Amino acid sequence: MRQEKKLAYLIFSVVMCGMLGSSFVVDAHPLEHSLLLSSSQTWYVGGTGPGNFTTIQDGVDHASDGDTVFVYDDAAPYYEDVIVNVSIQLLGENRNTTSIEAGSHAVTIRAQGVTVSGFQIHTLGDFWNCCGFYVISQGNTISDNNIINNLRMNGIYLDGASYNTISGNFIENNQFHGIRVEYASHVIIQENMVAKNKGYGIYLYEVQDSTIVGNTIQESFFEGIMLGGYSVNNVVYHNNFINNPGNAYDASGNLWDDGTLGNYWSDYAGSDADGDGIGDTPYLIPGNQSQDRFPLMVPFENHPLDVDITIIGGFGVKVIVRNQGTDDVFHVDWQSHLTGGLLFVPRTRDASGSIQYLGSGEEILLQTIKPLLGAGLIVLSVTIGKTSESQRGLLLLFLFLPLET
C-alpha cells in the first residue's frame, strides 16, 4: 500500500510539473511564439546579392506563404510566364523598368492572398485571349503596374475570381479589353488609368456586388465600360469617361453615383445653372434605363496635381516639369503660348501635348524652343492641368533673357 501511494504521488507530481512547465513556457515566451508564426523571408531576383535568382519563376517557386519575392530591374526584361501558386508579395523594383515581356500570360495567379506590384508588362501575346495578369483565385491585389502595348490580350483578366482588388495600374494600348472580369463578385477596381485599348476599357460579365471608383477610361475602341450579362448591385462613381465611342453600357441596371456625386462624362450635354459642379439633369446610361443622377461637369481628381514648372532662358527656351506630388501622373495635357515682341521664329506661338507618365519626384524636359529669332519683350506661359507658370523675358535676336516677375 505504501508503495502504491508513493507511485500515485510520483505520477501526480509529474503531471503537475508538466502543467506548470507548459504554462510557464507559454507565458514566458509569447514573442518567440509570435516570431515563429511570422517567420517569413524575402527572396531576390536579379541584382548582385549572393544566392539571388535569375528568373522570377525560380524566386516564386522557392517562396512559401507569407514570403516576399523582390525583383530588381537590372536583369530586365524578364522573358517568362510567371505562375504564382503561393500566397506571396511579388514586388518589382520600378514599374517603368522592371519589365516582363514575351509569353502569353505574364503573371498567372492561382493562390489566394497574392499581391503583385511594380512591374511593366509589354510586348506580350501571340494568340487569342492572353493576358497581362490572369487571375483565378480570391483575395489578391494587383496594384501600381504598367500594362502597355501588348498584342491581342486583356490587360487584367479575373476569370471567376471574386474578392480581388485592381488599383493604381496604367493600362494602355492593349489589343483587347483593358480590364476584364467575368463570373465574379466583390471586386474593387479603383484609380486605374485605362486608355486607348482596342476593346472595352472595362468589361464586366455576370459580376455582382462590385465597386468601380476613381478610374479614368478614355479613347477605348468600344464602350468605356460595359456591364453585360447578369451584372447587378454594382456601384460606379467618381470615374472619368473621356472620348470613348460610347462611354458606358449597362445591361442590367446598376448604381452610377454615391448619392451625392457621380461620374464625369465627356459627352454630357446638360447644364449647371447653380454652378455647383454637378449637372442639372441626369446622364442616361444606354441599356437598361440606368442613370447617373449627379454627373460631374469637370473630371474628378483623385489626387490633386502637384507639379513645378521651370522656364529657363538662353539661346532658346527650355521648360522643365517636376512632379512634386506623392502620386504618379498619367495623361495630363499641357499647353504653352508665346506673346509679345517681334517674333520671326518660331512661326507658331502655340504648342500642346500630353504627359503620358511622370513618376513621383521625377522631372522631364517638357518643351524646347530653339532657336528663337526676334526682338522685344515676350512672355512664355505654360499650363499643365490646372497649374500655370509664366516667364517674362527680353528677346535680343537669338538670346532670351528672363526678367524677374
Query: Tell me: the pLDDT tens digits for 27-64?
Result: 333 333 333 345 789 999 999 989 999 999 999 999 99
pLDDT tens-digit readout, 142-167: 999 999 988 878 999 999 999 999 99
Among the four given CATH numbers 2.40.50.100, 3.30.360.10, 2.60.40.10, 3.40.50.300, the one describing domain 307-402 = 2.60.40.10
DSSP 8-state class, residue 76: P
Average pLDDT of the chain, as a whole number: 88
What distance in Å separates the CA atoms of residue 24 and residue 120, rounded to the nearest whole number?
A: 52
Contact 305, 319 (CB under 8 A): no
Under DSSP, the state recorded for 266 is T
Kindly report whether the peptide bond that precedes residue 77 is cis, defined as omega within 30 degrees of 0.
yes
**Top CATH class, 37-292:** mainly beta
Between CA 208 and CA 235 the distance in angstroms is 10
Query: 147 and 122 in contact (C-beta within 8 Å)?
Result: yes
d(CA 85, CA 140): 12
Percent of the chain with pLDDT over 70: 89
pLDDT over 80 (residue 276): yes
Task: Report the predicted TM-score, pTM, of the whole model to 2 decimal places.
Answer: 0.81
What pLDDT, on a 0 to 100 scale, did the predictor assign at position 303? 76
Closest by CA position to 244, among listed 279, 217, 272? 217
CB 378 within 8 A of CB 341: yes
The predicted pLDDT at position 2 comes to 40
| pLDDT tens by residue, 177-221 | 999 999 999 999 999 999 999 999 999 999 999 999 999 999 999
**Model confidence band, residue 21 (pLDDT cutoffs 50, 70, 90):** very low
Q: What confidence category does residue 291 fall into, taking pLDDT thresholds of 50, 70 and 90?
A: very high
- Dihedral class, residue 245 (left if φ above 0, else alpha if ψ from -120 to 50, else beta): alpha
| Percentage of the residues of the chain whose pLDDT score is greater than 90 | 75
CA-CA distance, 18 to 12, in Å (whole number)?
10
Of 293, 376, 351, 360, nearest in space to 326 by CA:
360
pLDDT of residue 405: 66
The predicted structure's pLDDT at residue 37: 41
Question: Collapsing DSSP states into helix, strand and coil, what is residue 45?
Answer: strand
The yes-or-no verdict on residue 16 having pLDDT over 80 is no
pLDDT of residue 1: 42
All CATH 2.60.40.10 domain ranges of the chain, comma separated, are 307-402
Handedness of CA 305, 274, 279, 211 (dihedral sign): positive
The interaxial angle of helices 30-37 and 2-28, nearest 10 deg, is: 70
Intervals of CATH 2.160.20.10 along the chain:
37-292
Say if residues 178 and 155 touch (Cβ distance below 8 Å).
yes
Q: How far is CA 329 from the centre of its chain?
A: 10
In sequence order, the 6+-apart residues with CB closer than 8 A to the CB of 121 are 99, 100, 101, 106, 107, 132, 133, 145, 146, 147, 148, 150
Query: Which three three-digit cell numbers place residue 271?
Result: 447644364
- Other beta carbons less than 10 A from residue 184's beta carbon: 23
| Integer CA distances (angstroms), 207 to 203, 239, 286, 354, in order | 10, 18, 18, 34
What CA–CA distance (Å, rounded) separates 17 from 242?
74
What pLDDT, on the 0 to 100 scale, is given for residue 289? 87
Q: At 194, which amino acid appears?
A: V
